[in-house]
Structure 1
Amino acid sequence: MNSQAATFKESTTINYKETGVVWRLSNHFLESIPFDHPNLVFCCIGTDRSTGDALGPMTGSFLTQLSSFPFQIVGTLDNPLHALNIEEITQELINSPSKPYIIAIDACLGNSGNIGQIIVHQGPLYPGKAVKKELPPIGEVSIKAVVNIGGFMEYNVLQSTRLNITFEMGKVISRSLLLAWHRYNLKVINNSDTDRNHN
């Protein structure tokens, strides 16, 4: 385990409407994501054909538009990472010369009190679980966004989810990731300045 992630709690939950959510979420990302990994990949899972399931590709599109976010993004509104291609693409990533460290991002369903929560946890997520699909787990770290209520007619629930919630949650996640990356860089610069001063 990367030393940066060693102090990370097993799971963290925060609502996207909370005050200071971007700063607070960036704290969790700094603790959990090894930004110094040589092959850090963000896999944004979902499809643009469903408003609820568009959270992943929408976040991926937001991230690709951020010129100062230098990491590989797999899954956008233009090229979604979904049930039909996820196994093949995941295998390609795993077989690449430099073993990837994957951050998996996906929408999920929960109870009514959990809608709007962003959950960050160590370990993989299981794409397609909300609609009873059996797909391989993906990710060393998972970022899940609760977009609607689960437990009944999940496919229809995802289809009828308000686009506004996926849009706003995707925006919060992407902005928080960018802020975490900038804060990580500042920390590296400050540490190197401190080392030079000591020497």
Structure 2
Amino acid sequence: MNLKSRFQSKIDSVRIDHTAPHLDVAIGDKLISWFPSVPREYVVVCIGTDRSTGDALGPLVGSFLTEMKPRHLSVFGTLEHPVHATNLHEYIKEINHVHKNPFIIAVDACLGKTHSVGKIIATEGPLQPGAALNKPLPAVGDVHLTGVVNVSGFMEYSVLQNTRLAIVVEMAKKIAGLLESIDYRLIHHRKAPAVVVPQIKSSTL
């Protein structure tokens, strides 16, 4: 679980509500634009725990995506085998051992402002997991996806425990579908679907 800051405006990112049409194209185009020109081994690291409703977004994404059997994305972090605070260091070592020069897409839940709940955010650069709960964890990812599952500001741990499962599951399905579309585009030379997507205005969390 990370915490989106209003001071991140200089970082390249795009955010859109999880119910918006053509979500996979809008965010997918941005993600693909950040991918290296020379193909690497692509790894998705889904961070979180099934012991907290709000923080289960990552493991749910990992489980849904694994069921889709992606061909060019290796997935770490599922409901059965979650990647969380106590084993993150070990998973990072394993990923770097198994994959040569991996390009990592990190996925995590986050807290934000009221009007941002339900938004999915793609950001260039690493994710800082555990920030919302003041846990000193290593930064993860070359790019990252986060879903705003609830409101920040007070008793974050309790907020996570009392987050509605319905919105977390729905957002996890959308993120998994987005990543499946990324996998498809990697297979087919990154050609984007022929869909016209309106410009997305950024907003502050």
Q: TM-score range by the shorter chain?
A: 0.7 to 0.9
TM-score (structure 1 length as normaliser): 0.83
Q: Distance in 2 between matches of 1:51 and 1:188?
A: 34
Alignment of 1:84 with 2:86, yes or no, is: yes
Closer, same or farther in 2 for the Cα pair 1:23/1:188, shift >3 Å?
closer
Deviations 1:173-197 (A, max 9, x none): 11111123223433469xxxxxxxx
Q: Distance in 1 between matches of 2:37 and 2:63?
A: 20
Q: Which amino acid aligns with 2:153?
A: G
Q: CA deviation at 1:24?
A: 2.2
| Aligned twin of 2:110 | 108
Closer, same or farther in 2 for the Cα pair 1:184/1:89, shift >3 Å?
closer
Alignment of 1:20 with 2:6, yes or no, is: no
Query: Pick from 126, 140, 157: which aligns with 1:155?
Result: 157
How many residues are aligned here? Answer: 182
Q: Distance in 2 between matches of 1:20 and 1:97?
A: 32
Alignment of 1:50-69 (within 5 A): 50-69=52-71
Q: Distance in 1 between matches of 2:128 and 2:61?
A: 18
Q: Which amino acid aligns with 1:93?
A: I
Q: CA deviation at 1:38?
A: 3.3
Q: Distance in 2 between matches of 1:150 and 1:188?
A: 36
Closer, same or farther in 2 for the Cα pair 1:43/1:19, shift >3 Å?
same
* 8 A contact 1:69–1:178 mirrored in 2: no
Deviations 1:135-194 (A, max 9, x none): 1111110111110001100000001001111111111111111123223433469xxxxx
Question: What value does the CA root-mean-square deviation take over the aligned residues?
Answer: 2.1
Q: CA deviation at 1:96?
A: 4.1
Alignment of 1:28-177 (within 5 A): 28-34=30-36, 37-96=39-98, 98-177=100-179
Q: Which amino acid aligns with 1:167?
A: V
Structure 2 residue ranges without an equivalent (≥5):
1-10, 192-205
TM-score (structure 2 length as normaliser): 0.81
Closer, same or farther in 2 for the Cα pair 1:122/1:163, shift >3 Å?
same
Q: Distance in 2 between matches of 1:164 and 1:88?
A: 31
The structure 1 segments of at least 4 consecutive aligned residues displaced by more than 6 Å after TM superposition are none
Q: Which amino acid aligns with 1:135?
A: L
Q: CA deviation at 1:35?
A: 9.4
Structure showing the higher helix proportion among its residues: 1
Q: Which amino acid aligns with 1:144?
A: T
Q: Which amino acid aligns with 1:159?
A: Q
